[in-house]
Amino acid sequence: MSSASGTKNSASKPASTRGNPANKAEAAADWVDGRVGIYSLAKANLRKIFPDHWSFMLGEICLYSFIIIILTGVYLTLFFTPSMAETVYHGSYLPLNGIRMSEAYASTLDISFEVRGGLLIRQIHHWAALVFVAAMLVHMMRVFFTGAFRKPREINWVFGFLLLVLGMFDGFFGYSLPDDLLSGTGIRFMEGAILAVPLVGTYIQMFLFGGEFPGTDIIPRFFTIHVLLIPGIMLGLLVAHLILVFYHKHTQWAGPGKTEKNVVGMPLMPVYMAKAGGFFFLVFGIIAAISAIATINPIWAVGPYRPDQVSTDAQPDWYMGFSEGLIRIMPGWEISVWGGHTLNLGVMVPLAVFPLVLVAIAVWPFIESWVTGDKREHHILDRPRNAPVRTAFGAAWISLYLILLVGGGNDLFATHLHLSINTITYAVRVGFFVVPVLTFIVTKRWCLGLQRRDKDKVLHGRESGVIKRLPHGEFVEVHTPLSQKDLHSLTAHEQPQPLELPAETDENGVARKAGVITKTRVKLSEGFYGEGNQIAKPTTEEYHEITSGHGHH
């Protein structure tokens, strides 16, 4: 197992004190060990090695904000009434006095104005949810751009992806619970989307809402989904995710002493325990302070939901903004099919594209490994520049996400930038197709440029800024050669070669044709690693040729 324990132990082992423990702690540990075997468990993990890099804390932020959401969520359930029964408000928020509203909305007002600290917990819950989804997205991008999803971690990539999707939907359900004007508008949007499902749309709608919109069942049902069903699944996925992280051990960057066969870093106890444990409090503290300073979702300002009222600026939380963008930029196509039936393409198409945008990123690890045919484990991370096509695809995906976010907030962009809302919508329609392609091209070029620069640095050293005059009068800039550490780190990456079509005849001279699949794979592989998609890294010969000469510069 982990050889981390072998640091400065003396050769002689201390005698076991099991029968006669040295202190109370040892005695307690012995007692527990006799029941659940903690010594064997701790032997492997107490001094488990964790590599250090700032980007590894992104996943920690996800975990900690999830814990914060659960803690504050439990508190909120103690005060929240998930009911659409009507009541007339008589509370301390005077502007809404005497107004008819649901008990869900009234109890949210009470949490905000009557329960001491209730507003703070509500704000922490909402802020932590935003941080949670944002951290998951950024964490996922970290894993993506560094190639940390490669074998053996593909399953964990899928778990993480599912956590992101579930997190997004749980955020939507939670946002809907207070039954304020904005959340009701969101639910109405969902109803319209469900109605657009061909054949069974109206049936799903009736079953989900317990009748016609809005009915009285939707809030209690969402409540159960929001606090029980989805968090339960997420908790299971999260535990599985963490077990796999523990089992695979962390990835690490290439560097001196770091190989595919080891993991270099600090032990869990004490350093990582203190750092990670402390980091939980940092995250919690910062979210608490943000919640004290910045109001989020002030439901009292928009009033209770009524289906015939709406406020401008109706916006979902940012992580759902891309779906809102899809629905806003889609032309309103409706067609008649099979004798009087209506197919609402204007809503159905965005609904179908929504999962496609997400799944595109979920299936990438499988596409990449299929294209490379690489069946080995990978633990050393790729620098994004060294995998230009992957990096370019990721950047294109993010640009699509962002362009749809602009579409989802087109009214805000219109009012803040004094632009025509129609122009923004038309621009986003074009941008949906054009921007990802441009982003792909630019990012790939950029990566190749950076690869060239790395190659230059390895072969010629770093520019020192010192100008030297040679005996014959020429001025040259002195280049400082790189340290062995940098030379190694900059050349440690692999450069896979593209696949080639199999020979047209086999060893017996019998003609065999490559199938469509093989041909596609070869073409894709060419697109990944072929000429023009990576800069050949410096070879030993090149290095010797340049450095052995005179006045290397």
Partner 1 sequence: MSENLPEAHDASHGTALVSHDDPFADPGLPAHEPRRTDIDERAAKRAERQVSLMFVVSMLATIGFIASYASIDADKIVYIFPLGHVSALNFALGMTLGVALFCIGAGAVHWARTLMSDHELPAERHPIEADDDVRNDVIEQFKTGAAESGFGRRKMIRNTLIGSMALVPLSGVVLLRDLGPLPEKKLLHTGWDKATQSSPIKLVNMNTDEPMKPEDIVQGSLTFAKPEGLEESAEDFQQQIAKDALMIVRIAPGDIKDAESRDKGFEGILAYSKICTHVGCPISLYEQQTHHALCPCHQSTFDLADGARVIFGPAGHPLPQLKITTDEQGFLIATGDFDEPVGPSYWERPR
- Residues 117-146 binding partner 1 (CB under 8 A) are 117, 119-120, 123-124
Q: Which of residues 81-100 bind partner 1 (CB under 8 A)?
A: 86, 92, 100
Q: Which of 58, 69, 143, 196 binds partner 1 (CB under 8 A)?
A: 196
Q: Taking CB under 8 A as the rule, does residue 234 contact partner 1?
A: no
Residue number with CB closer to partner 1 (84 or 392)? 84
Residue number with CB closer to partner 1 (282 or 514)? 282
Residue 23 is encoded by which pair of tokens? 């202190």
Task: Report the length, in residues, of the chain.
Answer: 553
Are the beta carbons of 151 and 369 closer than 8 angstroms?
A: yes
Q: Which of residues 424-483 bind partner 1 (CB under 8 A)?
A: 425, 458
Instruction: Supply the minimum distance, in Å, between the C-beta of residue 161 and partner 1.
Output: 20
Site string (43-72) toward partner 1, x via CB under 8 A: -----xx-----------------------
Residue number with CB closer to partner 1 (206 or 442)? 206
Q: Which of 30, 33, 154, 217 binds partner 1 (CB under 8 A)?
A: 217
Cα 284 from chain centroid (whole Å): 20
Q: Which of residues 197-216 bind partner 1 (CB under 8 A)?
A: 197-203, 205-215
The region of 138-146, 233-241, 484-492, 506-514 touching partner 1 under the rule CB under 8 A is 484-492
CB neighbour list of residue 69: distance below 8 Å, 6 or more residues apart? 125, 128, 129, 132
The region of 252-260, 497-505, 506-514, 516-524 touching partner 1 under the rule CB under 8 A is 252-260
CB neighbour list of residue 230: distance below 8 Å, 6 or more residues apart? 166, 169, 170, 173
Instruction: Supply the minimum distance, in Å, between the C-beta of residue 512 and partner 1.
Output: 29
Q: Distance of CA 161 to CAs 58, 141, 153, 164, 357, Å?
A: 15, 11, 12, 5, 12
Residue 293 is encoded by which pair of tokens? 């300073």
Q: Which of 224, 259, 415, 518 binds partner 1 (CB under 8 A)?
A: 259
Q: Taking CB under 8 A as the rule, does residue 494 contact partner 1?
A: yes
CB neighbour list of residue 132: distance below 8 Å, 6 or more residues apart? 62, 65, 66, 69, 167
Are the beta carbons of 411 and 312 closer than 8 angstroms?
A: yes
Q: Taking CB under 8 A as the rule, does residue 254 contact partner 1?
A: yes
Residue number with CB closer to partner 1 (272 or 401)? 272
The region of 133-141, 309-317, 460-468, 500-508 touching partner 1 under the rule CB under 8 A is 309-317
The region of 164-172, 228-236, 248-256, 521-529 touching partner 1 under the rule CB under 8 A is 248-256
The region of 140-148, 235-243, 375-383, 506-514 touching partner 1 under the rule CB under 8 A is 375-383
Site string (5-34) toward partner 1, x via CB under 8 A: --x---------------------------
Instruction: Supply the minimum distance, in Å, between the C-beta of residue 498 and partner 1.
Output: 18
Instruction: Supply the minimum distance, in Å, between the C-beta of residue 57 and partner 1.
Output: 11
Kindly report the backbone phi and psi dihedral angles of residue 381, in degrees, each rounded to the nearest multiple of 5, phi listed first. -75, 150
**CA-based nearest residue to 304, from 110, 121, 77, 96:** 96
Strand partners, 86: 102
Question: How far apart are alpha carbons 32 and 26 in whole angstroms?
Answer: 10
The region of 13-21, 113-121, 166-174, 397-405 touching partner 1 under the rule CB under 8 A is 113-121
Q: Which of 108, 410, 439, 533 binds partner 1 (CB under 8 A)?
A: 410
Q: Taking CB under 8 A as the rule, does residue 379 contact partner 1?
A: yes
Are the beta carbons of 82 and 220 closer than 8 angstroms?
A: yes
Instruction: Supply the minimum distance, in Å, between the C-beta of residue 417 and partner 1.
Output: 16
Q: Report the amino acid identity of residue 244.
A: L
Question: How far apart are alpha carbons 252 and 258 in whole angstroms?
Answer: 8
DSSP string of 434-478, one letter each residue: HHHHHHHHHHHHHHHHHHHHHHHHHHH-EEEEEEEE-TTS-EEEE
Are the beta carbons of 380 and 261 closer than 8 angstroms?
A: no
The region of 21-29, 130-138, 190-198, 525-533 touching partner 1 under the rule CB under 8 A is 190-198
Residue at token pair 């329960």: 115
Q: Taking CB under 8 A as the rule, does residue 508 contact partner 1?
A: no
DSSP string of 11-79, one letter each residue: SSPPPP-TTS-SSHHHHHHHHHHHHH-HHHHHHHHTT-EE---GGGHHHHHHHHHHHHHHHHHHHHHHH
Cβ burial, residue 156 (10 Å; 0-12/13-18/19+): buried
Residue number with CB closer to partner 1 (518 or 547)? 547
Q: Which of 30, 33, 60, 114 binds partner 1 (CB under 8 A)?
A: 114
What is the torsion angle, in degrees rounded to the nearest 10, for the CA atoms of residue 445, residue 448, residue 449 and residue 451? Answer: 160
Instruction: Supply the minimum distance, in Å, between the C-beta of residue 51 and partner 1.
Output: 9
Residue number with CB closer to partner 1 (354 or 446)? 354
Q: Taking CB under 8 A as the rule, does residue 35 contact partner 1?
A: no
Q: Which of residues 270-289 bind partner 1 (CB under 8 A)?
A: 270-271, 274-275, 277-289
Site string (148-167) toward partner 1, x via CB under 8 A: ----x---------------
Residue number with CB closer to partner 1 (17 or 311)? 311
The site for partner 1, by CB under 8 A, has a size of 136
Question: How far apart are alpha carbons 347 and 197 in whole angstroms?
Answer: 9
Q: Distance of CA 45 to CAs 49, 67, 172, 252, 462, Å?
A: 8, 22, 38, 18, 42
What does the buried/exposed string (b/e) look like for 364-390 if buried means 16 or more CB atoms within 10 Å of the residue's CB? bbeebbebbeeeeebbbbbbbbbbbbb
Q: Which of residues 341-360 bind partner 1 (CB under 8 A)?
A: 341-347
Instruction: Supply the minimum distance, in Å, between the C-beta of residue 323 and partner 1.
Output: 11
Q: Taking CB under 8 A as the rule, does residue 534 contact partner 1?
A: no
